[in-house]
């Protein structure tokens, strides 16, 4: 016995000697807050244990949500792709990088020769770093010379971006720093579920509430965010524009207009006022199904507040009239003169980790870096000079993300490179997209995992995760943030930017892509953005290692711009624009065959198409499958019990998910999260109607019907 104890003590002491702990700084890869953390690796002999420890920064202030705490689980997952894979006879086999890159170059050359230069397209993502998003745009325009590049951010921020550009002359998600939120006396959260989508932002609203703020939440569901609200407006899905018009009408009728602000800082008020005179509150109530007294209370609370903030997000924007809905809210903000001051402003809360930076530097079909326009002669000249090409060599604008899929189906696009995205799950009417993709002559996908899109590819390239890829992202506040690499890359994994440079070399365009580090790419991005709306010239890696910098930041001594539009808006005359927009009834209405509204969104434990979060055991355990939230009375009407499998049918097809009773959702509405593939993939049935202004799909409303799935075992 004594001997055994002695031995145990000996081995424990030895183990202690061999145990070690390392910690590396990084940043959560998921939402737009970009919380910072340390990944701590404990090694005890051969065993390794990891944990995420939040670290401080001025946005998340030392907070981390469930997703950030467990993000490393997917990055360390055994299903990570470690070598390039080529499909041979329907099965993936390992190939060497050299073979893979040669094959890509060969296929690009042959497709462009056979079908035209625009037949090879590029599809990017809002989670790529700024450097990679920038380089992807340059790669498409300079190495491929194709006009067809777009990205999944089209599904995220396009309505708000287009509306803010047209109204303010500039699109940055928030006009104010987050620290302004507690200064507001009224806060309107329209179509945004911060509590589940950006949880570490909630303390800003808690603090505002402690300071006495009146919080209004506009959402068809009583979400976790709505639980915080003093007033919840459970509008009918897809009627956000009408609701904002109703609020504007009350402001006008009850004298809440800031006339000096309107006169000195805006144009178009007289036309807007005239248009609003014809608006009837009864019509607004009929459209939105929100009682007039609640609309009036919301408008009065907003109008009376000395300082107030309106924030929107995808709930309002992912509509066939998402652009109009954002513009109508901006009309409200301008009429009340509540922007450009501490505690007063407007914002659209960015979804993806780099949803902001990813849309500024050229991944979008019509944009060049620094928010320049690909159709503007001066902008083309400037970017061509930075890239060392003739302006005429730059292609013109292409089409939006979903329209690229339609072109694939039509045989106009026959080759595609997908980087940092999973359109087979994230697109609307996704079953159509999966079918269209199979028509491609060549599909190459760069991903960490064999995603649903990668499964369809001819070639899959393994890329680094957030833990391994140094670079910058621009967060919800418009702050550029540096994310250091915390670990070495596993296997033969490459960074996305390395892959683009390597393909360019194979195509004989290597001289335009001489980069050996992310910092070198960033320095070219700074130059390309110089003088543009999103001016990063003054932001350097050296500076970012010390601080997060708000753009615009035009020179290295500039402090950055936390609050926009304090004196001028970004249009040449310095004034903001009111918009007169008629109601655009959505095409897809309910009827006797499809009597319910289907709306979609996120849940706390998952992110986008779930490629990463579904592979995190902790997150997957939290919610392993899609569910349909349905009001108990609606469920009973269709014979659906709690936890029962439900078939949801729309005019495009069907999905099967389990029911979850929720008595805080409208009885005419069902909600399904969009993070899953397979039978429960709700995007297989969502609407592909596109907003005419920004080409945002109408994810948030289509007509649906439900029925319990018959238990075959009992028949």
Residue ranges that bind ligand SF4, judged by CB under 6 A:
28, 30-31, 33-35, 60, 64-65, 67-68, 198-200
Within 464-560, residue ranges assigned H as helices are 496-506, 518-529, 541-544
At 252, which helix (H) or strand (E)? helix 240-253
- Other beta carbons within 10 angstroms of residue 411's beta carbon come to 13
The DSSP result for 257-314, as a single string, is --HHHHHHHEE-HHHHHHHHHT--HHHHHHHH---HHHHHHHHHHHHH-SSEEEEE-H
**Nearest to ligand SF4 of 198, 561 (CB atom):** 198
Minimum distance from residue 150 beta carbon to ligand SF4 (Å):
25
CA distance 204 to 313: 17
DSSP lists the bridge partners of residue 245 as: none
Name which of 315 and 353 has its Cβ closer to ligand SF4: 353
Closest-CB residue for ligand SF4?
A: 68
Residue 202 CB, nearest approach to ligand SF4 (Å): 9
User: What are the φ/ψ torsions at residue 708 (nearest 5 degrees)?
Assistant: -70, 145
Closest CA to 660 of 698, 630, 704: 630
> Smaller CB distance to ligand SF4: residue 74 or 526?
74
- Asked whether 332 and 279 are in contact (CB, 8 A), the reply is no
Inter-axis angle of helices 130-138 and 496-506, nearest 10: 20
The minimum distance between CB 48 and ligand SF4, in angstroms, equals 22
Which residue, among 425, 408, 409, 426, has the nearest Cα to 417 in the 3D structure?
A: 408
- Minimum CB distance to ligand SF4 smaller for 33 or for 243: 33
Of residues 65 and 404, the one with the C-beta less far from ligand SF4: 65
DSSP states of 559-609: ---SS--SS--SSTTS-EE---------S----SSS-EEEEEE--TT--TT
Record the tokens describing residue 565, joined without a space: 């539009």
Q: Which is nearer to ligand SF4, 197 or 685 (CB)?
A: 197
Based on CB atoms, which residue is closest to ligand SF4, 34 or 616?
34
Whose Cβ is closer to ligand SF4: residue 197's or residue 298's? 197
Tracing tokens 């007509």 back to the chain, one arrives at 703
Give the dihedral sign, CA 109/111/115/121. negative
User: What are the beta bridge partners of residue 628?
Assistant: 659
Give the nearer residue to ligand SF4 in terms of CB position, either 466 or 565: 466
Q: Which is nearer to ligand SF4, 68 or 462 (CB)?
A: 68
Tell me how far, at minimum, the Cβ of 52 lies from ligand SF4, in Å: 8
* Residue 176: CB minimum distance to ligand SF4, A: 19
DSSP state of 31: B
Other Cβ atoms closer than 10 A to 622: 16
Phi/psi at 308 (5° precision): -155, 155
> Considering only CA atoms, which of 523, 652, 449 is closest in space to residue 130?
523
Output the smallest distance, CB 199 to ligand SF4, in A. Answer: 5
How far apart are the C-alpha atoms of 53 and 63, rounded to whole Å? Answer: 9
Tell me the closest approach of the beta carbon of residue 485 to ligand SF4, in angstroms: 18
- The owner of tokens 């659209």 is 348
Residue closer to ligand SF4, measured from CB, 35 or 119:
35
């Amino acid at each position: 016995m004594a001997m055994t104890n002695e031995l145990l003590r000996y081995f424990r002491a030895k183990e202690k000697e061999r145990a070690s702990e390392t910690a590396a700084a990084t940043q959560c890869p998921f939402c737009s807050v970009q919380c910072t953390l340390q990944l701590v690796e404990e090694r005890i002999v051969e065993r390794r244990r990891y944990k995420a420890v939040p670290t401080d920064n001025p946005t998340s202030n030392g907070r981390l949500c469930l997703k950030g705490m467990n993000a490393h689980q997917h990055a360390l997952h055994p299903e990570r792709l470690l070598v390039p894979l080529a499909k041979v006879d329907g099965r993936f086999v390992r190939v060497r990088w050299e073979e893979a890159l040669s094959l890509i170059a060969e296929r690009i050359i042959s497709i462009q020769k056979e079908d035209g230069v625009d037949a090879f397209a590029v599809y990017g993502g809002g989670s790529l770093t700024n450097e990679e998003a920038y380089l992807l745009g340059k790669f498409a325009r300079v190495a491929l010379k194709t006009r067809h590049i777009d990205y999944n951010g089209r599904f995220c921020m396009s309505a708000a971006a287009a509306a803010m550009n047209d109204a303010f002359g500039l699109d940055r998600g928030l006009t104010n720093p987050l620290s302004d939120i507690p200064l507001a006396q009224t806060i309107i959260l329209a179509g945004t579920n911060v509590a589940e989508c950006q949880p570490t932002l909630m303390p800003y609203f808690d603090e505002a509430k402690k300071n006495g703020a009146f919080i209004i939440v506009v959402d068809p569901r009583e979400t976790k965010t709505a639980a915080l609200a003093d007033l919840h407006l459970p509008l009918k899905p897809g009627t956000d524009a009408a609701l904002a018009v109703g609020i504007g009408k009350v402001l006008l009728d009850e004298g809440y207009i800031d006339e000096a602000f309107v006169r000195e800082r805006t144009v178009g008020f007289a036309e807007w006022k005239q248009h609003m005179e014809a608006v009837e509150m009864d019509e607004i109530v009929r459209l939105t199904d929100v009682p007039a007294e609640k609309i009036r209370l919301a408008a009065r609370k907003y109008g009376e507040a000395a300082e107030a903030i309106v924030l929107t997000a995808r709930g309002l924007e992912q509509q066939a009239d998402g652009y109009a809905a954002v513009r109508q809210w901006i009309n409200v903000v301008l009429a009340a003169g509540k922007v450009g001051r501490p505690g007063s402003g407007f914002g659209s809360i960015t979804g993806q980790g780099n949803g902001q930076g990813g849309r500024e530097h050229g991944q979008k079909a019509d944009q060049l870096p620094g928010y320049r326009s690909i159709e503007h002669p001066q902008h083309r000249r400037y970017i061509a000079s930075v890239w060392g090409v003739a302006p005429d060599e730059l292609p013109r604008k292409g089409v939006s993300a979903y329209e690229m899929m339609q072109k694939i189906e039509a045989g106009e696009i026959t080759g595609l490179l997908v980087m940092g995205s999973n359109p087979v799950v994230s697109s609307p009417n996704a079953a159509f997209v999966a079918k269209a993709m199979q028509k491609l002559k060549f599909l190459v996908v760069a991903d960490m995992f064999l995603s649903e899109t990668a499964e369809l590819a001819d070639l899959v390239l393994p890329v680094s995760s957030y833990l391994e890829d140094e670079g910058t992202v621009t967060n919800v506040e418009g702050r550029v943030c540096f994310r250091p690499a915390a670990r070495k890359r596993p296997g033969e994994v490459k960074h996305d930017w390395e892959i683009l440079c390597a393909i360019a070399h194979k195509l004989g365009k290597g001289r335009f892509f001489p980069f050996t580090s992310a910092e070198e790419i960033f320095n070219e991005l700074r130059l390309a953005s110089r003088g543009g709306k999103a001016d990063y010239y003054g932001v350097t890696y050296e500076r970012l290692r010390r601080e997060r910098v708000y753009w615009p930041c035009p020179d290295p001594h500039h402090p950055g711009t936390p609050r926009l539009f304090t004196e001028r808006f970004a249009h040449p005359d310095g004034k903001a624009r009111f918009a007169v927009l008629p109601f655009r009834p959505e095409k897809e209405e309910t009827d006797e065959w499809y009597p319910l509204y289907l709306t979609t969104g996120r849940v706390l434990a998952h992110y986008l198409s779930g490629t990463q979060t579904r592979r995190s055991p902790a997150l997957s355990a939290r919610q392993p499958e899609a569910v349909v939230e349905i009001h108990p009375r609606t469920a009973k009407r269709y014979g659906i019990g709690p936890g029962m499998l439900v078939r949801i049918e729309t005019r495009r097809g069907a999905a099967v998910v389990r029911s979850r009773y929720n008595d805080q959702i409208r009885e005419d509405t069902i909600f399904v999260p969009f993070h899953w593939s397979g039978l429960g993939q709700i995007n297989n049935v969502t609407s592909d109607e596109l907003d005419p202004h920004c080409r945002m799909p109408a994810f948030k409303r289509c007509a649906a019907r439900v029925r319990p799935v018959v238990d075959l075992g009992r028949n």
